C-alpha cells in the first residue's frame, strides 16, 4: 500500500500534535507535585482548558478550516461576510444590538457545518451558501454574535465556543473608533492561541476616514496600541471598505467614500486563495496546536519568573539549614551510638580474614569468629528485647555471612531520638525566616507550620544510618586493604613459616637416615611454632590497634561523613524543598 504525500503530511502532523498534548500533560502532572505554590492552581486550570482545545484540533484535523469573523456591534463584520460571499443579505446587518444573534456559517455544503451544530446546538447555527461558496473546498466562514452584545448571558458563551472551534480569527475594528478597549480586552485572552497567519486584523469602513490621516496617523497609532494591548506583534493588518463590495451598498448621498484605498481584494485572496488549500489547513491546525502548547508554557514561565529570585534564595537557605541540621543530628547520632562501635572490630577482622593467607591468616579468621561470638554475648546484656538479642546472637553464630546485618541491628534505635531532636531544633531556628520568604514567593501560608517541612523520623534515621554505614564501610575497607599488604603478610608469616620449614627439614632428614626424633623434639617444636604464631598475631593486633583501632576508624569515618554532608544536596529533603525544586524545574522548554 502506497501512502500519498497528503496522507504522510497528515500522519506526521498528527504525531506532532500528540507530542504537544503530551507536553501539556507532563506540565500539568508536574504542577500537581507542587500544591503549595498558589499560581499552580490557575496554571493547572489553564492546562485543563488548553488540552481539550488541542484534542479538538486533532479530532477535526480532516475537517474544513474554520475562519471566524469577530467584532463588536457596528464594526461591519456581517457586512464583511456578505461582501466576501457576494450575497448582500447572507448575514443580517444593521445598527440594532445585537446585530448577529446566532452563528452564521458560510460554506459549500450544509454538512460542512455539522460539527458546529453538534458543538453549539442546531438552534444556534444558521448555515448559508451561495455560488461564491463553490470554491471553498477547504474553508468555512462564520459570522459570530457581537462581542459587546446586550444579550451577554446567551451570546457571549456562544462566541467563546465559536472561537475555540476556529482555526483563523479575523478581528474586525471600526476605523472611526478602532481603539475600543472593551473589544481589545475581550479578544486579548484568545489571540494568544493564534499565531502567524491564523490571526488577521481588519480595520473596516476605512473609506470614512481621510486617506492621509488613515495611513499616517490612525494606522500607526492603532498598530502601537494593539501590539501593546495584546503583547505580541500583529503580522497582518488590512484596511477595507466592506460595503463598497456589496451589490447594493446603499450609500447615503451625503456620506459617500472619501477615497479608493481599499485592501478588500487582498483579504479575499487570503481567504479564497491562501487559506483555501489543503496544505494550509494542516499547517494552521499544527501551528495552532503548537501555539496552545506554547501559550501554557509561556504562562508558566511568566509565573515562575515572578518568584524566581525568591525561590532560588529560599532553596539555598533551606539547603544550608538542612545541611547544618543533618550535621547536628549526625553528631548526636554518633555520640549516642557508642555501643555500635563494638562491631567495628568484627567488621575489620572479617575483611582481614578474607585477605590474609598463611598461619597468621588462620588466627585472624579464628579471632574474627571469636569476636562475633563475643558480640552476640554482649548483645544479651543490652537494653531491649532479650529474646530478639539472643536470636541475633544465635543468628550471628550460625550465619557468618549474615553477621554484619545482625550486628547492624544492635542498638539501632539508641541515637534516633537525640538525632531527631537536634535536627528539629536546628530547623526550628532557621525556618521562620525561610517560611516568610516563601510566602512572599506565593507559597501557601501553611508553609509556616513546621510539621509540614520535617521529614519522618524513620526517613531521617534511615538516611543517617546510610551515610554513617557507607562511610564506616569505606573506612574499614581501606584500613583492611592497608593492613593486608603483600609485604606485611610476608613479614608476619615469615617467622612461623621459617620455623615450620626448619622443623620439617630436620624431621625429614632424620626420617630418611633412620634416626627417629623423640617426642620431646616435636613438643618443643609445636610449642615454639605456637608461641611464634601467637607472638606474631599479638604484634599484628598491636599494629591493628595503632593503625586501625575502633576509635581511629570511627573518627576517620565521621570526618568523611562531615565532608559528605557539606557537599551533598540534603537527602532527607522536606516536602517544601521538593516543591520548590518542582517549580524551578517545570518542563516549559
End-to-end alpha-carbon separation of the chain, Å?
A: 38
379 with 389: CB under 8 angstroms? yes
Where does residue 132 rank: exposed (0-12), middle (13-18), buried (19+ CB within 10 A)?
Answer: middle
In a domain, 546, yes or no: yes
Q: What is the pLDDT of residues 148-182, one digit of tens each?
A: 766 666 778 888 888 888 888 999 999 888 888 88
- Are 222 and 371 found together in one domain? no
Taking the CA atoms of the chain, what radius of gyration do you get in angstroms? 42
Distance CA 322, CA 320 (A): 6
Q: What is the pLDDT of residues 188-204, one digit of tens each?
A: 878 877 877 788 999 99
In a domain, 7, yes or no: no
125 with 117: CB under 8 angstroms? yes
- Are 261 and 401 found together in one domain? no
In a domain, 44, yes or no: no
CATH number reported for the structural domain that contains residue 261 in this entry: 3.40.50.300
- Are 270 and 368 found together in one domain? no
In a domain, 55, yes or no: no
- Are 255 and 169 found together in one domain? yes
Mean pLDDT highest for which of 166-175, 252-261, 455-464?
166-175
- Are 95 and 236 found together in one domain? yes
89 with 134: CB under 8 angstroms? no
| Residue 514 belongs to domain spanning | 338-414+456-572
- Are 270 and 347 found together in one domain? no
Number of folded domains that form the chain: 2
At 129, is the secondary structure helix, strand, or coil? coil
**Higher model confidence: residue 366 or residue 26?**
26
* pLDDT higher than 50, residue 132: yes
Mean pLDDT highest for which of 203-217, 380-394, 424-438, 455-469?
203-217
Q: Is the peptide bond before 83 cis (omega within 30 degrees of 0)?
A: no
End residue of a domain, out of 276, 296, 321:
276
In a domain, 481, yes or no: yes
The predicted model scores a pTM of 0.61
Looking at 139-263, list the stretches that DSSP marks H as alpha helix, in order from N- to C-terminal side: 152-164, 181-191, 211-213, 219-230
Distance CA 101, CA 6 (A): 38
Q: Which of 304, 298, 296, 302 is nearest to 24 (CA)?
A: 296
At 237, is the secondary structure helix, strand, or coil? strand
- Are 558 and 462 found together in one domain? yes
- Are 345 and 254 found together in one domain? no
pLDDT for the residue 283: 82
In a domain, 309, yes or no: no
- Are 244 and 346 found together in one domain? no
pLDDT for the residue 156: 82
Distance CA 204, CA 73 (A): 12
Average pLDDT over the chain, rounded to an integer: 80
In a domain, 39, yes or no: no
- Are 267 and 346 found together in one domain? no
User: Phi then psi for 238, rounded to 5 degrees?
Assistant: -120, 140
pLDDT for the residue 149: 66
End residue of a domain, out of 255, 276, 297:
276
- Are 113 and 239 found together in one domain? yes
Q: How many CB atoms sit inside 10 A of residue 20's CB? A: 23
191 with 230: CB under 8 angstroms? yes
- Are 342 and 270 found together in one domain? no
In a domain, 212, yes or no: yes
Amino acid at each position: 500500500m502506497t501512502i500519498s504525500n497528503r496522507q504522510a503530511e497528515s500522519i506526521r502532523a498528527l504525531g506532532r500534535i500528540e507530542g504537544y498534548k503530551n507536553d501539556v500533560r507532563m506540565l500539568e502532572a508536574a504542577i500537581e507535585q507542587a500544591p503549595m505554590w498558589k499560581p499552580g492552581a490557575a496554571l493547572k486550570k489553564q492546562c485543563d482548558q488548553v488540552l481539550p482545545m488541542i484534542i479538538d484540533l486533532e479530532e477535526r484535523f480532516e475537517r474544513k478550516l474554520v475562519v471566524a469573523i469577530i467584532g463588536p456591534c457596528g464594526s461591519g463584520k456581517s457586512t464583511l461576510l456578505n461582501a466576501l460571499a457576494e450575497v448582500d443579505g447572507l448575514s443580517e446587518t444593521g445598527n440594532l444590538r445585537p446585530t448577529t444573534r446566532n452563528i452564521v456559517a458560510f460554506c459549500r455544503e450544509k454538512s460542512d457545518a455539522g460539527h458546529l451544530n453538534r458543538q453549539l446546538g442546531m438552534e444556534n447555527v444558521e448555515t448559508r451558501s451561495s455560488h461564491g461558496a463553490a470554491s471553498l473546498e477547504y474553508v468555512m466562514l462564520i459570522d459570530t454574535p457581537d462581542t459587546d452584545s446586550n444579550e451577554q448571558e446567551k451570546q457571549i458563551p456562544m462566541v467563546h465556543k465559536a472561537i475555540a472551534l476556529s482555526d483563523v480569527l479575523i478581528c474586525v475594528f471600526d476605523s472611526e473608533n478602532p481603539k475600543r478597549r472593551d473589544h481589545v480586552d475581550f479578544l486579548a485572552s484568545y489571540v494568544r492561541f493564534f499565531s502567524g497567519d491564523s490571526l488577521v486584523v481588519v480595520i473596516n469602513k476605512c473609506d470614512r476616514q481621510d486617506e492621509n490621516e488613515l495611513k499616517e496617523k490612525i494606522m500607526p497609532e492603532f498598530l502601537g496600541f494593539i501590539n501593546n494591548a495584546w503583547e505580541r506583534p500583529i503580522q497582518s493588518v488590512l484596511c477595507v471598505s466592506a460595503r463598497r463590495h456589496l451589490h447594493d451598498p446603499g450609500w447615503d448621498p451625503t456620506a459617500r467614500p472619501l477615497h479608493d484605498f481599499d485592501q478588500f481584494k487582498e483579504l479575499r485572496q487570503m481567504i479564497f486563495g491562501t487559506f483555501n488549500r489543503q496544505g494550509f489547513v494542516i499547517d494552521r491546525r499544527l501551528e495552532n496546536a503548537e501555539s496552545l502548547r506554547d501559550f501554557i508554557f509561556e504562562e508558566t514561565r511568566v509565573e515562575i519568573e515572578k518568584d524566581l529570585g525568591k525561590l532560588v534564595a529560599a532553596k539555598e537557605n533551606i539547603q544550608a539549614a538542612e545541611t547544618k541540621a543533618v550535621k547536628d543530628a549526625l553528631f548526636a547520632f554518633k555520640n549516642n551510638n557508642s555501643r555500635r562501635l563494638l562491631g567495628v572490630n568484627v567488621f575489620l577482622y572479617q575483611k582481614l580474614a578474607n585477605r590474609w593467607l598463611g598461619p597468621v591468616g588462620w588466627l585472624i579468621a579464628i579471632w574474627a569468629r571469636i569476636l562475633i561470638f563475643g558480640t552476640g554475648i554482649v548483645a544479651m546484656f543490652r537494653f531491649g528485647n532479650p529474646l530478639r538479642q539472643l536470636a541475633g546472637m544465635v543468628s550471628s553464630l550460625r550465619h557468618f555471612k549474615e553477621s554484619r546485618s545482625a550486628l547492624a541491628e544492635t542498638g539501632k534505635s539508641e541515637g534516633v531520638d537525640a538525632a531527631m531532636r537536634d535536627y528539629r531544633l536546628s530547623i526550628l531556628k532557621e525556618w521562620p525566616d525561610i517560611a516568610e520568604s516563601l510566602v512572599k514567593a506565593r507559597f501557601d501560608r501553611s508553609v509556616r507550620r513546621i510539621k509540614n517541612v520535617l521529614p519522618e523520623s524513620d526517613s531521617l534515621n534511615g538516611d543517617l544510618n546510610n551515610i554513617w554505614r557507607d562511610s564506616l564501610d569505606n573506612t574499614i575497607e581501606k584500613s583492611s586493604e592497608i593492613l593486608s599488604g603483600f609485604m606485611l603478610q610476608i613479614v608476619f608469616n615469615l617467622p612461623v613459616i621459617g620455623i615450620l620449614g626448619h622443623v620439617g627439614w630436620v624431621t625429614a632428614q632424620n626420617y630418611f637416615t633412620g634416626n627417629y626424633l623423640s617426642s620431646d623434639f616435636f613438643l618443643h617444636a609445636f610449642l615454639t611454632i605456637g608461641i611464634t604464631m601467637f607472638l606474631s598475631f599479638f604484634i599484628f593486633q598491636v599494629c591493628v590497634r595503632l593503625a586501625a583501632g575502633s576509635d581511629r576508624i570511627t573518627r576517620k569515618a565521621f570526618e568523611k561523613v562531615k565532608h559528605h554532608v557539606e557537599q551533598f544536596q540534603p537527602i532527607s529533603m522536606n516536602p517544601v524543598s521538593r516543591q520548590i525544586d518542582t517549580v524551578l524545574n517545570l518542563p516549559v522548554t
